[in-house]
Amino acid sequence: MKGRIALVLVAAALMVFAGYAALYVAPDEKTMHAIQRIFYFHVPSAICSFIAFFVVFIANFAYLGTRQPKWDWLGVAGAEVGVVCSTIVLITGPIWAHPVWGIWWTWDARLTSTFVMWLLYTIRSARRCSLRSSEFSRFWTYRSFISQTGFGERNILSL
């Protein structure tokens, strides 16, 4: 237990240092200046969200094949992490886009598919939290369909 607390403290200290370095130590980019610094948060959050949703994708297939609760919980945890990271992406992207492109949002296929993916996983997480134990067994096909659709639609459009 002490080792886990120490690991969490070290990780938190490294995250604070990385945030400080991104905001104050890194030099300004030549054309975008200070607004470019938002990429130090935007891009890692996007990568984290895709990894989290990939974990959900794999966990759902494993759960459908084995019906072991550990795969279900892995999928739930991955979906929650992915929603948080996607929320950061959907907030930091327009903050960057407004000064650079002059608009907050454009209905480009990639932007819209990221929003749809975020919406599908948010609905999935909210729906799962609202279930009673008697309804849970019927929910796995719905949840699996939503997760596979959300992961698939975003990655097809990224090609």
How many domains in the chain? 2
Q: Are residues 69 and 141 in the same domain?
A: yes
Return the sign of the alpha-carbon dihedral for residues 152, 155, 157, 159: negative
Instruction: Out of 19-28, 79-88, 103-112, give the one with best mean pLDDT.
Output: 79-88
SS3 (DSSP) at 142: helix
Q: For residue 132, what are the contacts with CB-CB under 8 A and spacing of at least 6?
A: none
Return the sign of the alpha-carbon dihedral for residues 41, 112, 47, 61: positive
Q: Are residues 6 and 51 in the same domain?
A: no
Q: Chain-wide mean pLDDT for the chain?
A: 81
Q: Where are the alpha helices (DSSP H) in 21-132?
A: 39-66, 69-101, 109-129
Q: Are residues 21 and 41 in the same domain?
A: no
C-alpha 72/C-alpha 34 separation (Å) is: 42
Segment 135-155 shows an average pLDDT of 58
What band does 150 get if pLDDT is binned at 50, 70 and 90? low
What band does 51 get if pLDDT is binned at 50, 70 and 90? very high
Identify the pLDDT of residue 17. 92
Q: Are residues 71 and 135 in the same domain?
A: yes
Q: Are residues 75 and 110 in the same domain?
A: yes
Q: Are residues 25 and 59 in the same domain?
A: no
- Provide the residue range defining the domain that includes 8: 1-30
